[in-house]
Chain A
Amino acid sequence: MKTWTKLFAGSAVLALTSGVFATAVPTVANAASKPTKITFWHAMTGNYAKALDDQIKAFNASQSKYEIVATAQGDYTTLNQKVMAAAKSKTLPDMAQATYTQVPDYAKDGIVTNLDSQVKGKSGLSKADLKNIYPGFLEQAKYKGSYYAMPFSASVRVMFYNKSILKQYNLAVPKTWDDVAKMAKTLKDHNIAAVGYDKSFDMEWNSMVRSAGVKLVTPAGKVNVNSKQAVAAAKTITDMVDNGEALTAGSDIYGTTNFVNGKTALSFSSSAGISATKAAAPQGFDWGTAVMPSYKGKQATMLAGNNLVTTAQASKKEQAGAFAFMKFLASDKQTEKWAEATGYLPITKKAANSADYKSYLKANPLAKAASDSLPGAFSDTAFLGYQEYRTDLLSATDAMLTKKTAPKDALDTLQKQTTKIVKDNK
């Protein structure tokens, strides 16, 4: 078997290297005149991809040292799978999009590089630059105290509300979960569910638990998913689902369908889902956005989105080029442009407070809730095995919803699973 392996490996290497040489040789020869190509894989589609392409063009035109060559790889799941496959076959791009929760696993597998030397290097980011980026986003870019990514797209969970329903039943936009519970009682008599979730309610639950002052998993590796506060929050949610005051999306995956059909008065969604909801809403559908209701007197909302990483298979020069592009995207002007084109949040304070962005918000009131949410925004603790934890978490919420498993039992199981994941990856 060994010789076979070698034979196949040999022929594969031969095939690959012949390709590499064919492309590498002319690049070296023309290094002086031709820019270094930086390959970049992303998961943007539709309008998002178009906006990104515009930024790539702007970067390529702004300097002559590097040229970004981008490839759309489908959605985040597909991108992740392609990255894993490419890491194995040593065909990784120079840079890629990645969620902050993937970074620990990528770092362990040697897929991403530590960016500390780039960030602190002479063409890196100054103290003022770093201070300009919202600390929540910067924290997401770090793992074990080092930079492994640069922030790029960020969204938060926000609340959508159906203005017509609220008006008809004389209800105000709820500010707290108690308000939500009250309006649910009123709407129940009219066969309207107050609350609409996506297929899973894990992010809303996570926000509630955080409001109650508990981190589901702490940076030190303590697991609190079956803590008193976590079970109580899950029970609040499932009780409402069970008595018809809340709906989950089930096979629709997103709560948008129920919301635009008037089946729910509220819907919780990513702020990046505003454009999708706009597209799905029927003519004349009157709706607004607001910050998530507060729970136990505190407002918290979960940050989502994705960062940019450089891969370990990029050369020093390519890494420098990739970082230059990341820095470009994180500049006030570009992040503001990106935010306006996509509905993601600007990652720098100057961009968020700029006159341009403020006038954009005035013209697009739906986008305002997201930036209003920033003070209460938080990130999950990223840890090794996070992706496995998330699969188990989704199984737990699914069991509570479809099999009617009691929250305490489902979360006890999740606690056991998560504790094991954290321990195994120590």
Chain B
Amino acid sequence: MMNNTKPTWRDNLKALGYLLPMLIIVGMFSLYPIIKSLAMSFYTDYNFFTNQVNAIGFDNFKTLWQDDNFHLAVWNTIVFVVGVVPVEIILSLAIASLLNQINRLAGLFRTLYFMPFVTSVVAISMVWRWIYNKDAGLLNYLLGFVGVHPIDWLNDPHYAMPALIILAIWKGLGFNILLFLVALNNVDQRLYDAAMLDGANSWQRFWHVTLPMISPMTFLVTVNAVIGSFKVFDEIFALFGGQPGPGHSTLTVVYYLYQMFYEQNKYGLAAASGVVLFLMILVVTLFQLWWSKKHVHY
């Protein structure tokens, strides 16, 4: 009935009235900071406290372009994303498929895998600091059985990034498994039945039925994981005790931003690095969207 009448000004105002509280919140806490930080990235001479801008320009971006630490941060961030995302997705899909197969104790396992997601990062990092301990850690103890010499995971610049990646993968599994389980449950059983009639083995069924059918979810999970990984910060902060790893080996773009903003009070530079990170994520996400058009089946 409503659909047939043309909305009047009155209706529009009414709708706006309903939307207004949310619009104000979004405007104040999302839109305004985004616009403000974009503007801030161009402030080259700026008093943070009086809000007085004395000069604007591209100097912050020029500084980033020349700053070795920022290059390192970008490089480390890319290494982290490439190290985490593929493994995390393959592992969580594999575990979700297995969980989908078993009938007994599936609930228990689901809970177990989900635990890291709901536990505070700081608590997790405390446990992993112990696991990674050179002398008393669990990981070196286990590696000792296969003849690997103790590795100083947290203090050796060569191993700090792998240590961080392992932690991030482990932490991200739970949520992704849950999403994959939902997708797996929604695959129409008749498709599997039809494939069986055609003589497809279980691998073929997975490859040709399951994967295409859950591709929208895989896409969602991938985009999520990529964005999340680009923004990694708290795991580093907690795992390495408020330092970006030994020899800056886990300095990421967000960590760089944090250092500039909170430790060095270079607000313009911090904002500029945020803008660069935003552009990096934007490019990768646009690429993913373009790619998904060909490979995701809705």
Whether, in the assembled complex, A391 has its beta carbon less than 8 Å from a beta carbon of chain B, the answer is yes
Is A402's CB under 8 angstroms from B155's CB? Answer: yes
Kindly supply a per-residue 1/0 record for chain B positions 216-243, scoring 1 wherever the CB is within 8 Å of any chain A CB and 0 otherwise: 0000000000000000000000001111
> Which of A110, A199, A402 contacts B156 (CB under 8 A)?
A402
Is A88's CB under 8 angstroms from B49's CB? Answer: yes
Distance of A87 Cα from B51 Cα, bound (Å): 12
- Which residues from 381 to 396 on chain A have a C-beta closer than 8 Å to any C-beta of chain B? 387-388, 391, 394-395
Whether, in the assembled complex, B146 has its beta carbon less than 8 Å from a beta carbon of chain A, the answer is no
Whether, in the assembled complex, A1 has its beta carbon less than 8 Å from a beta carbon of chain B, the answer is yes
- Chain A interface category by residue count: 20 to 34
Is A77's CB under 8 angstroms from B242's CB? Answer: yes
Distance of A5 Cα from B35 Cα, bound (Å): 10
Please indicate the chain A residues that have their CB under 8 angstroms from the CB of B48 in the complex. Answer: 88, 109
Is A87's CB under 8 angstroms from B49's CB? Answer: yes
Closest A-chain residue to B248, C-beta based?
A: A395
Whether, in the assembled complex, A21 has its beta carbon less than 8 Å from a beta carbon of chain B, the answer is no
Distance of A109 Cα from B266 Cα, bound (Å): 13
Is A251's CB under 8 angstroms from B241's CB? Answer: yes
Distance of A278 Cα from B11 Cα, bound (Å): 72
Contacts A81-B262, A105-B265 given: A4-B155 contact, CB under 8 Å?
Answer: no
Q: Chain B's nearest CB lies how many Å from the CB of A249?
A: 9
Whether, in the assembled complex, B116 has its beta carbon less than 8 Å from a beta carbon of chain A, the answer is no
Is B32's CB under 8 angstroms from A387's CB? Answer: no
Please indicate the chain A residues that have their CB under 8 angstroms from the CB of B27 in the complex. Answer: 4
Please indicate the chain A residues that have their CB under 8 angstroms from the CB of B32 in the complex. Answer: 4-5, 8
Whether, in the assembled complex, A69 has its beta carbon less than 8 Å from a beta carbon of chain B, the answer is no
Is A251's CB under 8 angstroms from B154's CB? Answer: yes
CB-based A-B contact count at 8 angstroms: 61
Please indicate the chain A residues that have their CB under 8 angstroms from the CB of B246 in the complex. Answer: 250, 398, 401-403
Please indicate the chain B residues that have their CB under 8 angstroms from the CB of A4 in the complex. Answer: 27, 32
Q: Chain B's nearest CB lies how many Å from the CB of A303?
A: 22
Whether, in the assembled complex, B205 has its beta carbon less than 8 Å from a beta carbon of chain A, the answer is no
- Chain B interface category by residue count: 20 to 34
Whether, in the assembled complex, B210 has its beta carbon less than 8 Å from a beta carbon of chain A, the answer is no
Please indicate the chain A residues that have their CB under 8 angstroms from the CB of B132 in the complex. Answer: 251
Is B49's CB under 8 angstroms from A399's CB? Answer: no
Kindly supply a per-residue 1/0 record for chain B positions 129-158, scoring 1 wherever the CB is within 8 Å of any chain A CB and 0 otherwise: 100100000000000000000001011110
Closest B-chain residue to A400, C-beta based?
A: B247
Is B152's CB under 8 angstroms from A250's CB? Answer: yes
Please indicate the chain B residues that have their CB under 8 angstroms from the CB of A388 in the complex. Answer: 263-266
Whether, in the assembled complex, B285 has its beta carbon less than 8 Å from a beta carbon of chain A, the answer is no
Whether, in the assembled complex, A324 has its beta carbon less than 8 Å from a beta carbon of chain B, the answer is no
Please indicate the chain B residues that have their CB under 8 angstroms from the CB of A87 in the complex. Answer: 49
Closest A-chain residue to B251, C-beta based?
A: A395
Please indicate the chain B residues that have their CB under 8 angstroms from the CB of A31 in the complex. Answer: none
Kindly supply a per-residue 1/0 record for chain B positions 242-268, scoring 1 wherever the CB is within 8 Å of any chain A CB and 0 otherwise: 110011110000000001001111100
- Which residues from 241 to 300 on chain A have a C-beta closer than 8 Å to any C-beta of chain B? 250-251, 253
Is A391's CB under 8 angstroms from B263's CB? Answer: yes
Whether, in the assembled complex, A84 has its beta carbon less than 8 Å from a beta carbon of chain B, the answer is yes
Contacts A105-B265, A402-B247, A403-B157 given: A391-B259 contact, CB under 8 Å?
Answer: yes
Is A84's CB under 8 angstroms from B35's CB? Answer: no
Please indicate the chain B residues that have their CB under 8 angstroms from the CB of A253 in the complex. Answer: 241
Please indicate the chain B residues that have their CB under 8 angstroms from the CB of A402 in the complex. Answer: 155-157, 246-247, 249
Is B240's CB under 8 angstroms from A251's CB? Answer: yes
Q: Chain B's nearest CB lies how many Å from the CB of A13?
A: 13
Kindly supply a per-residue 1/0 record for chain B positions 17-43, scoring 1 wherever the CB is within 8 Å of any chain A CB and 0 otherwise: 000000000011000100100010000
Contacts A8-B28, A87-B49, A109-B49 given: A398-B240 contact, CB under 8 Å?
Answer: no
Is B247's CB under 8 angstroms from A398's CB? Answer: yes
Closest B-chain residue to A80, C-beta based?
A: B262
Q: Chain B's nearest CB lies how many Å from the CB of A2?
A: 11
Please indicate the chain B residues that have their CB under 8 angstroms from the CB of A105 in the complex. Answer: 265
Please indicate the chain A residues that have their CB under 8 angstroms from the CB of B156 in the complex. Answer: 402
Among A77, A109, A111, A398, the most chain B Cβ lie within 10 Å of the Cβ of A398
Closest A-chain residue to B50, C-beta based?
A: A110
Please indicate the chain A residues that have their CB under 8 angstroms from the CB of B242 in the complex. Answer: 77
Distance of A87 Cα from B47 Cα, bound (Å): 12
Please indicate the chain A residues that have their CB under 8 angstroms from the CB of B28 in the complex. Answer: 8
- Which residues from 297 to 321 on chain A have a C-beta closer than 8 Å to any C-beta of chain B? none
Q: Chain B's nearest CB lies how many Å from the CB of A414?
A: 13
Distance of A398 Cα from B132 Cα, bound (Å): 19
Q: Chain A's nearest CB lies how many Å from the CB of B124?
A: 15
- Which residues from 46 to 70 on chain B have a C-beta closer than 8 Å to any C-beta of chain A? 47-50
- Which residues from 81 to 97 on chain A have a C-beta closer than 8 Å to any C-beta of chain B? 81, 84, 87-88
Among B39, B156, B248, B264, the most chain A Cβ lie within 10 Å of the Cβ of B264
Q: Chain B's nearest CB lies how many Å from the CB of A274?
A: 22
Please indicate the chain B residues that have their CB under 8 angstroms from the CB of A398 in the complex. Answer: 243, 246-248
Please indicate the chain A residues that have their CB under 8 angstroms from the CB of B155 in the complex. Answer: 250-251, 402
Is A250's CB under 8 angstroms from B265's CB? Answer: no
Closest B-chain residue to A390, C-beta based?
A: B263
Q: Chain B's nearest CB lies how many Å from the CB of A299?
A: 31
Q: Chain A's nearest CB lies how many Å from the CB of B60?
A: 14
Contacts A77-B242, A251-B155 given: A110-B265 contact, CB under 8 Å?
Answer: no
Q: Chain A's nearest CB lies how many Å from the CB of B37?
A: 13
Please indicate the chain B residues that have their CB under 8 angstroms from the CB of A395 in the complex. Answer: 248
Among B152, B154, B156, B263, the most chain A Cβ lie within 10 Å of the Cβ of B263
Q: Chain A's nearest CB lies how many Å from the CB of B123?
A: 17
Is B264's CB under 8 angstroms from A250's CB? Answer: no
Distance of A251 Cα from B126 Cα, bound (Å): 11
Please indicate the chain A residues that have their CB under 8 angstroms from the CB of B249 in the complex. Answer: 402
Distance of A398 Cα from B27 Cα, bound (Å): 43
Please indicate the chain A residues that have their CB under 8 angstroms from the CB of B247 in the complex. Answer: 398-399, 402-403
Distance of A359 Cα from B23 Cα, bound (Å): 67
Further 11 A-B residue pairs, CB within 8 A, beyond A391-B263, A402-B247: A88-B49, A105-B265, A109-B48, A110-B50, A250-B154, A251-B155, A387-B265, A388-B265, A398-B248, A403-B157, A403-B246
- 11 chain-A/chain-B pairs, Cβ below 8 angstroms: A4-B32, A5-B32, A8-B32, A84-B265, A87-B49, A88-B49, A109-B47, A253-B241, A387-B263, A387-B264, A399-B247
Binding site for B on A (CB under 8 A): 1, 4-5, 8, 77, 81, 84, 87-88, 105, 109-111, 199, 250-251, 253, 387-388, 391, 394-395, 398-399, 401-403
- The 4 A-B pairs with the shortest beta carbon distances in the complex, nearest first, are A402-B246, A250-B155, A251-B154, A402-B247
